[in-house]
Structure 1
Amino acid sequence: MARKTQAHLSRDALLHNLNHIRAHAPGCQVVGVVKANAYGHGLEDASRVLASYVDYLGVATIEEAMTLVMMPVKTIVLLMEGIFQDSELELVAEHGLEMVLHEEGQILALEQAQLSAPITVWLKLDTGLGRLGFPAKLVSMLYQRLRCCANVKKIKLMSHFSASDTNFSYTQKQLKCFMDMTQGLVAEKSIANGAAIFNCPESCVDIVRPGGLLYGVGLWQGKKSGVDEGLRPVMSLRSHLISVKDYQAGDYIGYGRCWQCSGPMRVGVVAIGYGDGYPVTAPDGTPTLVCGVEAPLIGRVSMDMITIDLELCPDAKVGDEVVLWGDGLPVERVAHHVGVVPYALLCAVAPRVKLVWDHQ
């Protein structure tokens, strides 16, 4: 029996989510964020689905950008962290990429380079995230420098929210800071990330940048899932039972004797483990679905297997499908049990797990 540990991915769900986002940000251009292997969904396949429906594809590295260029996609590719080496600038110019500028060295490299074509740049401002971007006191001066730079084709202005999923007053403070910093500067603007599209609609100015929302993931710290907001999960991580056994009170399950049966138990072994990207820190009680019925994790996560309590699905048998997250079991619930953000689970899906798109 072939190992059936696969991530099933839905084109329809991805486009549904995009349309739902557009409905909440009418008139805005959309950056479809596909960095980090499209949040674990496969950079090339996810980009093929999105390319005709978004205005930009957002990546983190020049390697990701060049993958899209070579496919090829006709959509504008945005380097969301800019360049890491000066030598990347000519690739940006040659292939019509756009890039973020967030520190002085990037601007100096741009001013000093001899490029085959001018570049559209996104000047990043730090409005309170405390990560990348320039402070308010430098914005006007940098904007004027870029206007005078022969290698700059067009300037756009951007920032990023710190807590648009949880702290709405701070989000409003950041938005005001951004609007004050950019007042009087002629440029398209972008500050709304995924959570802000729903929670702070006034931040949806010219361009919005959804990431996890595209893949159906909510951003509300376990209080809501994307499904609660009308989204659909794009990924459904599935495997199957490879063993079903009955145990007695006092029997131990798994490495380290971490689980001891308190009474008679039916235990299933699922063909997935941390070698597949399933979280090694998942605690007892983390939910799975066996034939649509919840079956909690028991015992330690192994490299290739996990063990689950089949009390609520006594008729389960070897070969039955197990959903680790996705259809019927939001990844946000699993992430809440593990104590990580949902993206960490999606991005961790290992290369040996086959990605199966429903349109292939």
Structure 2
Amino acid sequence: MEKRRLGHTDLDVPALCLGTMMYGDQIAESAAVAQMDACVERGINFFDTAEMYTVPPKPETQGESERIIGRWLKARNNRDKIILATKVSGRSPAAYMRDGPAETRLTHDQIRFAVERSLKNLQTDYIDLYQIHWPDRDVQKFGAIRTGYTHYEDTGEPIEKTLDTLGELVAEGKIRHVGLSNETPYGVMRFLRVSESQKAPRVVSIQNAYNLLNRVFETGLAEIALEEKVGLLAYSPIAQGVLTGKYLDGAAPAGSRKALYDRLNRYETPAAEEATRGYVALANDFGVSPAAFAMQFVTTRPFVTSNIFGARTTEQLETIFESLAINWTQEMESAVNELHGRIQNPCP
């Protein structure tokens, strides 16, 4: 398994990262255990979770993904061999994620509460990478707004205070490194500037959506990722399963996310079907699985530190593993870019 350096740290992480947001709902604990075992056998020792998971988020299953990983870590007694990433939720009306009736925010006390709970859930005394799941300030996120840029006056909790709190946790040994998620170019550069001016922890990664249908990361963030060594931990590399082609023509296979939760809105834009059909056809022309093709496109980007995948079945997991065997050629690159040039970012 290829290893890549995580930002300015001394950690080398595998090119693929196991995403666990389905653990505790779509993926039962027994299947999750088998999946984690299989990944470790393949050299994938980088696991990503969040205090919010499982998804879809709800009070009954909040934190269950972390708890499943924690029980596995205890049973395998292999914490020192796993690079563990989790996330603290940004501003949200989901008050159940905190201890009290207040809305979820990135305040000093709420961050500390979230860290302590995640440590307990994960049955560990440290977290390798602690990420801000989304900003405390209002921003356009998760592809929910498609009407152009909107400027928000509310800037949320000051980044200076957030980094101060995270700095305390680094000093205490509870977290090792700090990352961002669902962030903008402005946000990343603000965090970097503040970290330099007040000697606070420097962010080492950014976890944003990135796939063949959504390459907006390339516009502003890719240069930052490379020049500032804040590499992308890409999520949704197969666009929530859309790039497999299984949802074409309105299909909703039994057991799929579409059938269970109808939560594919980000990838159901007017141009998504045409673009998806095109990428599936390209993969077939090259004689590879559309899912593996989509995965290897993301994995081979120079600004990607690790490609976060989720797999519901053993067959899907094998396809993820098989993607690494694809020799990404210039012919593939040119074909993908030609289609991207005709239908750019239909699902930002």
TM range, smaller chain: 0.3 to 0.5
Structure that is richer in strand per residue: 1
TM-score (norm 1): 0.38
Greater Rg by CA: 1
TM-score (norm 2): 0.39
